[in-house]
Amino acid sequence: MPHTFLSSKAIPVRERLIMALDVPSIPEAQALVEELGGSVIFYKVGMELFMSGDCFGFIEWLKQRGKKVFVDLKFFDVPETVGRAIRALSSKGVDLATIHGNDAIMQSAAANKGDLKVLAVTALTSLDRGDLDDLGFKCDVRDLVLSRAKRALQIGCDGIVSSGLEAAMLREHLDHRLLVITPGIRPVDNREEDDQKRVVSVEMAFENGADYIVVGRPIRDANDRRAMAEKIQAQILGVFAQASASN
């Protein structure tokens, strides 16, 4: 596949991998970060870890080690409340954060983000057509994702979280004006018990236009976590090196 939609943003290649710290405690997260060492620069902190203890202390711990931090809490509340939460988070040295909601929520977050980059969630990668029907979204998932991405761009959000299955469509319609962060990455065949339904490979995600990918279980559950992280880093480097060589 031609690298038509490959990211042109000035992002260091090794920062394009975001490791999801989906573990139940901060000591486990710290041990995992230390185990991975220099193989991962960017980490995602989600709801489970945020509920387990002094997560702001942990964020400071990460920053002291030269790591970047993506807080994925998908803020959804009264717009003023979301704005205040984003403003508070922006003072903690966090690099990326997610919100989820309507135009007023996105507007409030964009107005209060400071140096923090705000990402709007389009459609969760754990949802398929049947799930969207249950939630009352009768439109095609691609139409839903594109609509939400256009609104996020107009309102002033910095990027979106979107499946790699829709990334190429977003680049085609919106060019590279938004950051695209793609979860649901599976370097190997998806297992039946996996709750991520709309998944893509590392190469496909970047070829379709992702700026960053989020990887959790494939690294966390590997026998050699650092080796798996380095394998994914090599795959990412290979995509961009191939594109450079063909230009």
Q: Which residues are catalytic?
A: 74
Distance of alpha carbon 185 from alpha carbon 177, whole angstroms: 23
C-alpha dist (Å) from residue 43 to 12, 17, 244: 15, 8, 27
Cβ neighbors of 187 (< 8 A, separation 6 or more) are 201, 202, 215, 218, 228, 231, 232, 235
Total Cβ atoms within 10 A of residue 49? 23
Distance of alpha carbon 174 from alpha carbon 162, whole angstroms: 14
Distance of alpha carbon 187 from alpha carbon 207, whole angstroms: 14
